[in-house]
Homo-oligomer: A and B are copies of this chain.
Amino acid sequence: MLSKKSILSVDDLDTGEIMQVLESADSFMDISRREIKKVPTLRGKTVASLFFEPSTRTRISFEIAAKRLSADIVNFSAQASSLLKGETIMDTLRTILSMQVDLLVIRHRDSGTVKLMDSVVNVPVINAGDGKHQHPTQALLDIYTIKNHFNRLEGLKVALVGDYINSRVARSCQSLFEKMGLEVTIVAPAMLLPEDWSGFKVEHSIDRIIEDTDILYMLRMQFERQDRKLYPSVREYNRYLSLDMKRLSRMKKDSVVMHPGPVNRGIEIYDEIMELAKEKGNNILIDEQVTAGVAVRMALLYLVLGQS
């Protein structure tokens, strides 16, 4: 039912397809709340999960999604593999594909490798994050979380705060949020922005938007992806970009805080807020994002495979 074979970027889905994903996710959300969280939809399908970069949440989220759809899933991680024997990554891919796998979930450290891999295989690929490029399932689960909370999307104001330049989540979210009618502001100092940010609405401090934003989306500081020492000091970060209790208290009623996780406590978000988030009825949606993740990934696996 989706027009493209694979989901490599949020741009692979048009608005209608995105709505279809969100609606499917709604039904799968119901399934995950049942006593028996399992449907036979993808029985007899084989999903291969190829992670060339360490991951907990995304890998396990896909694994749970596949299992709740009754698919078989095999995990391949670069460390435990024949890459040790000098096999090229493309030969690895051909090998796994020759085992008549129905779908590949791929994460890779280098931007674009997933796209290259997709171009040589005839089964669907879902990008589980490639370098600094795209993380479409994250953006989709975020938009699902937002829609679920606000019951609308059009016109909501969202601020993406922090390490934009190193974040694949930022790129996917910006693009998807704008497509769905949200107003996106990037909050970052020049050193965390791309060289050309013409066309972006940019602010350099969280204080400039905190009272007016509906969704405060804190980006993870990607220390592990920074090539040069271009990030600000923690002190600088805290001054302009961190969320503390004082700033939290200035936010509008009904506004929400999001983060793709894992949070660097004391950098993007202060400890007190993380503790506060555990209590019910607050507007910190980090856990809700994770829950949505399983449902959205079930929807994607289903739509990509279910009627093929």
* B72:A64 contact, CB within 8 angstroms: yes
Instruction: Give A64 to B49 CA distance when docked, in angstroms.
Output: 13
* A199 contacts the other chain (CB 8 A): no
CB-defined contacts of A48 to chain B, threshold 8 Å: 60
* B44:A95 contact, CB within 8 angstroms: no
Q: Interface residue count for A (Cβ, 8 Å)?
A: 64
* A56:B82 contact, CB within 8 angstroms: yes
* A67 contacts the other chain (CB 8 A): yes
* B35:A92 contact, CB within 8 angstroms: no
Contacts A95-B57, A287-B94 given; does A68 touch B64 at CB 8 Å: no
Instruction: Give A91 to B263 CA distance when docked, in angstroms.
Output: 8
* A250 contacts the other chain (CB 8 A): no
Instruction: Give A254 to B63 CA distance when docked, in angstroms.
Output: 43
Contacts A37-B46, A81-B54 given; does A262 touch B86 at CB 8 Å: yes
CB-defined contacts of A81 to chain B, threshold 8 Å: 54, 56
Q: Which of A19-27, A110-118, A183-191, A290-298 touches B?
A: A290-298
Q: List 12 A-B contacts (CB under 8 A).
A: A34-B44, A38-B43, A38-B44, A46-B67, A64-B72, A91-B262, A94-B287, A95-B262, A98-B290, A98-B291, A99-B291, A100-B294
> What 6 new A-B contacts, CB under 8 Å, besides A88-B265, A98-B287?
A38-B72, A46-B64, A67-B72, A79-B80, A91-B262, A91-B263
